[in-house]
Chain A
């Protein structure tokens, strides 16, 4: 894969979609697994955690990007300060929106501050790219993160409580798989999703190799 210097590539749709699928933070990069495993026992919790993460990710990365010329490379701690600021803000904001939600997410709101996805993007991307690209990329990453959380939360809530977003899905006689709501369920479901994503990736690679080989042979025929 070609290593492109990030600062001079133009803003394309690819910047946005990378985080959604090809570089999905959870399923591909395996970043931010702590909230992924901890709060995904229902869809609503997953969505709330996703929204909070998007807010922190976009705002902190935007600020890091704006200040990237001013901040000397030697004091990386500024990125932490900025992230901590937005986590504190989101903590208050969620309390103001809904106390129930705040209680359901518990300590994991404060723990966004150590989510390596956010820090990683701030250091690796925002500190080298323009504001526009940073915001678009952070939005993509955040949505990809939320997508992954909802994938986990959906399966766990469906199997563990037979509901989706609180609505009954299966008949009332359905026997819930309690384990899905417990921490082991998080690991099992994450494992299954990773299995699926790796399988898809592998299939794509084999297809690409096959296509390249076909191209090579046609080229050889043409040149000969």
Chain B
């Protein structure tokens, strides 16, 4: 194996199979973390130390609960495979930047314990653990999870958003007044999707693309997320078909509604670049365990997520539908796989 053994030129003859060894799980997970770091950094730049604290807390909560459950089950620690770090970072990116830290920690614990280790740990989880954690806090704390704060607040690197430091189990401080004082221009406290849904106001697509609108910590810059996704695809660690199918599904479904009635329904571009769709398509839906493996399965899975996202956004009670769309598609993925099993050669 080592190079110095081949001091003189040799013809490297090998027998089949000629396929290179696939990267190992920790290797892929580490690269996903690398790909997430720019997104996290941009989010910290936009929202300041509150977003940073939230990421640290959720990641720690995920790591500690993983360690705790591994010890309880008497298994070897699975910390070194980096998957808990991804769950923690992704979770933080789906939460509002001013989300109370104790709620973030709770989401991490629930996500790891109920979303992952209850099913048997990495490789067995039916759902994306980060989204399980988020779904729990969405149902438990409906007010806190829909409290948004403005981007680029003046002193975001020196002070926390007031709701961040709520004492454990206590109601977070209101942020509405604080948001008004720190916002550069008029802040309505609503995400672009909420503005679209309840007030019929469309945010400029370019703002969405570069990500300077209110929203969850990591659901803002579509451009950056796409670049990070491109890195993973280039390193052969993600199937490009998956995010492409999610985006295509969203675009097709949104286009249908847009053609039906351009006055009420937003453009497909708005749908693609707003909210958590990019983050969901690139980092959430692509959870290696909870998504299908067959090529057609991946495509159907992605299209299903896109379709459900648009339907929930337009007709559901909530403004954002990516989370439930992905969880639902996670549940459907074994079915999609069984539909799209490639025919075994020689089989009837």
Contacts and interface: CB of A to CB of B under 8 A. Distances in A.
A and B, one complex? yes
B170 A180 contact: no
B171 A177 contact: no
Contacts of A174: 169-171
Contacts of B297: none
A173 interface: yes
Contact of A178 (B103, B140, B166, B171): B140
Contacts of B317: none
Contacts of B169: 170, 174-175
B170 A178 contact: no
Contacts of B171: 173-175
Interface string A161-196: 000000000110111011110101000100000000
Interface residues of A, number: 12
Interface string B299-338: 0000000000000000000000000000000000000000
Nearest to A183: B139
Nearest to B110: A188
B126 to A, nearest CB: 15
B139, B141, B171: residue with the most chain A Cβ atoms closer than 10 Å: B139
Contacts of B140: 177-180
**Residue among A174, A175, A180, A188 with the most chain B CB within 10 A?**
A175
Contacts of A178: 139-142
A222 B205 CA distance: 87
A156 to B, nearest CB: 12
Contact of A175 (B114, B136, B139, B144): B144
Interface string A67-95: 00000000000000000000000000000
B133 interface: no
A142 B139 CA distance: 33
Interface in B116-146: 136, 139-142, 144
A190 to B, nearest CB: 13
Nearest to B118: A191
A174 B144 CA distance: 13
A223 to B, nearest CB: 36
A13 to B, nearest CB: 35
A165 B246 CA distance: 48
A177 B139 CA distance: 8
Contact of B139 (A170, A173, A179): A179
B151 to A, nearest CB: 26
B170 A182 contact: no
B142 A175 contact: no
B172 interface: yes
Nearest to B138: A179
Interface in B81-107: 103
B120 to A, nearest CB: 15
B324 to A, nearest CB: 13
A174 B114 CA distance: 24
Nearest to B114: A188
Count chain A CB atoms within 10 A of each CB in B136, B144, B172 and give the residue with the most: B136
A171 B169 CA distance: 10
A149 B154 CA distance: 52
B170 A173 contact: yes
B199 to A, nearest CB: 26
A49 B275 CA distance: 44
Contacts of B166: 175
Interface centre among B141, B144, B169, B171 (most CB of A within 10 A): B169
15 contacts: A170-B169, A173-B171, A174-B169, A175-B103, A175-B169, A175-B170, A175-B172, A177-B140, A178-B139, A178-B140, A178-B141, A178-B142, A179-B136, A180-B140, A188-B114
Interface of B: 103, 114, 136, 139-142, 144, 166, 169-172
Given A174-B171, A175-B166, A179-B136, 11 more contacts: A170-B169, A173-B170, A174-B170, A175-B141, A175-B172, A177-B140, A177-B141, A178-B139, A178-B140, A180-B140, A184-B139
